[in-house]
């Protein structure tokens, strides 16, 4: 059960994972809804969409997300990192409430509470779980014993 | 249960196929990427030992990483395609929440992660939470 306690810089990485993904998705949505309908018959128009300002900004944010995400995956489990990504939705909802003064319905508050509870559950546990060692990873003598069994 | 306007305009099965494509591609991409990063090791330690170039080289020389990125790229273009036909308020919660569950299953089966009761509960809570938040 290594890496039970996260270092401050590891919390910063998880924070970047949480913030960059929903902001990037929002930029993509804004960019794509402004474009005319794209059909499978003309897939090249999807490539052209990449160079429009909102999509480009969304991609820049998603590159920041991906770099932080890869770093997090190098010292934590996938099932530990993913709830952190979902926590970004809570950050965006709270920003829209207190910064943009948007109304948040009861369902959304319930969603915020559930995601926070879920992330709290995972954060209480280890970030990296011990995996059963395969025969190939064991020292030679121990591997022989495993094969006999 | 009312069907969202964007779904009725696109067709139920077409909308389902678009969302399923995002979920399948992103799950495959995330599992390959996670496996790649586990095989590379702690990036912070590699960066401290061999600098940023060493860390980038360690990632870019891992074949699993490219398999992961290919699937994530497919997931990205599936997302762009779906956003062009469906509302974000449908695509984002449906794909994000279901991906959490498929990733927990894939993490247990393929990455041999110890998905205990705590992590299953978290996956389900976050899944319902994302749905409520974005609906």
Among the listed residues A124, A126, A123, A146, the one whose alpha carbon sits nearest the alpha carbon of residue A134: A146
Which residues, 6+ apart, have CB-to-CB distance to A72 below 8 Å? A10, A13, A14, A17, A81, A84
d(Cα B111, Cα B108) in Å, to the nearest integer?
6
Question: If pLDDT is split at 50, 70 and 90, which confidence band does A147 have?
Answer: very low
Q: What does the pLDDT average to over B27-46?
A: 90
* Region A14-42 average pLDDT: 80
Q: What average pLDDT does chain A have?
A: 76
Q: Is the CB of residue A73 less than 8 Å away from at least one CB of chain B? A: yes
* Cβ within 8 Å of residue A37, ≥6 positions away: B84, B85
Whether chain B has a CB inside 8 Å of the CB on A114: the answer is: yes
Q: What is the mean pLDDT of residues A60-75?
A: 90
Q: Mean pLDDT lowest for which of A78-82, A123-127, B18-22, B28-32?
A: A123-127
What are the counts of helices (DSSP H) followed by strands (DSSP E) for chain B?
A: 6, 0
The domains of chain A are located at 8-148
C-alpha–C-alpha distance, residues B8 and B5, integer Å: 5
From chain A, the residues in CB contact with B30 under 8 A are: 78, 82
Say if the Cβ atoms of A79 and B85 lie within 8 Å.
no
Task: Report whether pLDDT(A143) > 60.
Answer: no
- Chain B residues touching residue A14 (CB < 8 angstroms): none
Indicate the residue of A73, A114, A131 with minimum beta-carbon distance to B34.
A73
Q: Which domain holds residue B67?
A: 10-134
Please give the helix or strand (H or E) that residue A8 lies within, else none: helix A8-33
Higher-pLDDT residue of B119 and A5 is B119
- Cβ of residue B132 closer than 8 Å to a chain A Cβ: yes
What is the total count of domains within chain B?
1
pLDDT, average across residues B9-33: 89
> Per the confidence metrics, is the pTM higher than 0.80?
no
Interchain pair A78, B31: CB under 8 A: yes
B104 within 8 A of B127, measured Cβ to Cβ: no
B120 pLDDT exceeds 50? yes
Dihedral of the CA atoms A28, A32, A38, A42 (nearest 10)?
-50
The answer to whether A52 faces chain B, any CB pair under 8 Å, is no
């Amino acid at each position: 059960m290594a890496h039970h306690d996260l270092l401050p810089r590891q919390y910063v990485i998880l924070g970047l994972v949480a913030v960059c993904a929903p902001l990037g998705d929002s930029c993509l949505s804004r960019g794509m809804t402004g474009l005319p309908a794209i059909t499978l018959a003309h897939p090249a128009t999807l490539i052209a969409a990449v160079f429009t300002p909102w999509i480009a900004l969304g991609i820049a944010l998603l590159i920041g997300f991906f770099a932080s995400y890869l770093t997090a995956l190098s010292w934590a489990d996938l099932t530990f990192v993913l709830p952190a990504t979902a926590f970004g939705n809570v950050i965006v909802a709270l920003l829209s409430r207190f910064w943009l003064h948007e109304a948040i319905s009861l369902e959304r508050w319930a969603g915020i509470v559930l995601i926070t509870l879920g992330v709290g559950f995972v954060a209480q546990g280890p970030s990296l779980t011990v995996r059963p060692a395969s025969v190939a990873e064991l020292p030679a003598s121990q591997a022989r014993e495993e094969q006999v069994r | 249960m009312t069907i969202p306007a964007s779904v009725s305009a696109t067709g139920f099965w077409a909308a389902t196929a678009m969302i399923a494509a995002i979920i399948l591609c992103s799950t495959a991409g995330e599992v390959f990427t996670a496996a790649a990063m586990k095989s590379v090791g702690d990036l912070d330690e590699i960066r401290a030992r061999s600098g940023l170039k060493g860390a980038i080289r360690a990632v870019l020389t891992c074949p699993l990483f490219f398999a992961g990125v290919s699937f994530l790229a497919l997931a990205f273009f599936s997302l762009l395609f779906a956003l062009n036909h469906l509302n974000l308020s449908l695509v984002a919660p449906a794909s994000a929440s279901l991906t959490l569950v498929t990733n927990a299953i894939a993490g247990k089966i393929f990455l041999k992660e110890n998905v205990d009761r705590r992590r299953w509960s978290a996956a389900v809570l976050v899944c319902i939470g994302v749905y409520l938040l974005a609906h």
